[in-house]
Amino acid sequence: MALQPAVHQTKSLRRWWPKRRLWKIVTSVVLVLVLLLITASGTGYYLIHKSLPVVDGTLNVSGLQQSVAVWRDDHGVPHIEAQNEHDLYLAQGYVTAQDRLFQMDLSRRQASGELSEVVGDKALSRDKFFRTFGLRRAAEASWNSYSQDAKQVLEWYAQGVNAYLHQAVQDNTLPIEFTLLGYQPREWQPVDSLTIGKYMAFDLGGHWEEQAFHYDLAQHVSEDQALDLFPSYPVDAPTIIQAMKDNPLDVGPLLAEAVKPNPFNGSNNWVVAGSKTQSGKPLLANDPHLSLATPSIWYETNLKTSSLNVSGVIFAGIPGIILGHNDHIAWGVTNVGPDVQDLYIEKRNPANPNEFQYQGKWEPAQVIHEEIKVKDAAPVSCDVRITRHGPIISEFANDKSTDTALSMQWTALQPSTELEAVQRFAKAQNWDEFKQALTYFQTPAQNFVFAAEDGTIAYRANGLIPIRTKGDASTPVPGWTGEYEWKGYIPWEELPTTVNPPSGFIATANNKVVGDDYPYHLSNVWAQPYREKEISQTLAGKNDLTATDMQKLQFDPTNLQAKEFLPILTGLLQGQQDKLRDIDLAALKELSDWDCRDTLDSSGALVFNLWESELPNVLFKPELSDETLSLFEDKAGTVDHLIRNAASGNPGPWVQERGGLAAVALTAFQRAVDHAVELQGKDASKWKWGEFHQVPFHHPLAAVKPLDLLFDPSKSPVPGSKVTVEAAGWDAKTGEVNHGGAWRTVVDFSDLSQTYNVVGPGQSGHLLSPWYDDQVKDWTTGGYHVTSTDPQVYQVKGHQLTLTP
């Protein structure tokens, strides 16, 4: 009996021993992993910290003629004080590279079609696309159009970038992104800056996507359905549609692989005369709407010599200031969005893939042999064929020659001098001088608003806008007949211009900027009118406006689309009570209590915006695929138009085939409600727009998990939506805010030495910099920082770096 406990104890020990041993093994493995993590973290921290820019003290910079002072203020904005322009722009290149070198390199690679060289074959299709478009070729062709003075600025800037690059390579302090991707950037060339400028022309578009969309429609839906989605009924609609049907082309690969700018790329800007302000001096406000990312697309800078003092923002990689002010004037821009791209249906010679028909003869195309370097793989070759109209863009995704192809003519593929205009903006002192500088700004066409210390306010739609022999740029046109050629551009002196209007203000928000009596065609696609209408109503309603009023207006979440359509759509549901579920009724209650403002705590904002996003799905699917709809640039405005027509008793075929507007409204509403339940539960009173609508400011490397945890700022809720003045475009599935005014500025001429600004998420591209994401809170809550051009202000608290020869 005495042995039993011993046996029992032995068995217990046997059962315990393997567990103890396993625990020791697990503990050891975890300990090793922790140590490795600590080591890796320590190494990573060391590498990241080591690459932080030097912002205090003295640095020797090759190429300088004299010392340059660089003061960075509380938000990392560099104030560069130089004794001559050579040193000024060399220092701008150096300082910008300190903060944004990886972004600069990625930008020039994307625009040049050279991403595959550093990220592998996953970027191959994108590279082929940009090699086909030829942005870098257009930049290279533009070089000789620049004046010698402008060329020098570009060269000085490149010298500054390279001075930093050489130091970083020598000291092993390149940004950590280069280490993670395993490459070293090449030297900066002046044409790199021009190429980034061409990319901005691409990003602000010209509506080739809409033309391709109409071409695809003609192949797959009835003529009535196709015409129902046209912006207007083309004069020669039957002829054009028949031409598209007679010359079919599978644009599926183009639809799937093309890089398409965000259709909501645009901006708000407005300027107010002293007659309507509290100070008696003009006010100017601008917030350009582009993709949101880390780092920001914008880089704020103050450039100063004895004869120059200009402050504002620029794209990293370009010298000067493109939006901002000097001691005498201020200016801002929005996108005109004109039709500056035309697709041509080309007939190829079956016996020679490099020849295309024109007026009964076969013309040889220019053939450019492109070789794309690919990381960890052999180079890939592709041929780009360029007809008299432009490059063949329909083959980049499949490399197969067909008898029918699409070419593209585009103003930006011609030599242009927009970066020369930027240099001249900085030195202009009045409207006449600024207007003269605009003669150098050809692409992309922009709505410029202007104010001057003498009280002048002005507006101009500026850029090259083609005049067509025939056609209205709504569809691809026959390229072989010679009937649809461009015959020049709208004369410069006849571009839309307004100076000191009686209203006392000028506002644009990518809306239609000319009346029906304007003698030239500008565009078929304009932004929905809600932003401009809210801005104009606000400015017209007050005569003692202040900078604070401008800031509040830039962050205005009023949804005028909801004010127009909510009564129509909810009224349609009232007649279908028997089909409404309890959760539907609860959601309708939230809408009835909503003030039509897209605020963070609003449940009505969530319901309405999800409802709006479902309407095109109900109307157009499954006939139109996601790829096809991605080319439908004017989808939002067209859906508005279809609803207005149907509500007034004139439903088109798309609405009719879905059972009428009431059926469309109900189906879309119930899908939206189901989505809201999936997102935030069954209590509609607790739904909140801000829990869904949040900005992540994604870093380019965040696509590689888990690097998003390292590089992305924390998500933050954002008020507003796609149609509010506080523009915040969002992904319909995830709610992520991916588009908006990364830069907001207000200029008050009562004191031109200071402006009110915010750059989301921050100035720096370096993860450990205090200015990496320090402006996220201000950007998401309507805050601003003051940028002063007065040395007595920014030198008090700033970090001083002296650059010496």
* Structural contact between residues 584 and 684, judged by C-beta atoms closer than 8 angstroms: no
CA distance 518 to 496: 9
Under 8 Å between Cβ of 119 and 125: no
CA distances from 558 to 52, 530, 695 (A): 41, 9, 19
Q: Tokens representing 605?
A: 């904002």
Tokens read off for 443? 């692409």
- Whole-angstrom Cα distance, residue 332 to residue 462? 12
State which amino acid sits at residue 119: V
The CA–CA distances, whole Å, from 155 to 183, 299, 443, 761 equal 24, 20, 22, 30
Instruction: Give the length of the chain.
Output: 805
- Using an 8 Å Cβ cutoff, are 410 and 341 in contact? yes
Q: Which residues are annotated as a binding site?
A: 339, 342
714 belongs to the catalytic site: no
The CA-to-CA distance between both ends of the chain, in Å, stands at 95
Q: What is the 3-state secondary structure (H, E, C) of 389-442?
A: CCEECCCCCCCCCCCEEEEEEEHHHCCCCHHHHHHHHHHCCCHHHHHHHHHHCC
DSSP 3-state of 270: strand
State how far Cα 483 lies from the chain centre.
35
Annotation: binding site for Ca(2+): 339, 342
DSSP secondary structure letters along 587-613: HHHHHHT--SB--TT-HHHHHHHHHHH
Residue type at 170?
A: Q
Closest CA to 562 of 620, 640, 506: 640
Taking the C-alpha atoms of residue 225 and residue 627, their distance in angstroms, rounded to an integer, is 18
Residue identified by tokens 């070198």 is 101
User: Which amino acid is residue 264, in one-letter code?
Assistant: F
Spatial separation of the C-alpha atoms in residues 698 and 718, rounded to whole Å: 15
Which of 112, 267, 721, 788 is an active site residue?
Answer: 267
Using DSSP bridges, classify how beta strands 366-372 and 466-468 pair: parallel, antiparallel or unpaired. Answer: unpaired
Ramachandran category for residue 207: left, alpha or beta (phi over 0 → left; psi -120 to 50 → alpha): left
Give the residue numbers marked as catalytic: 267
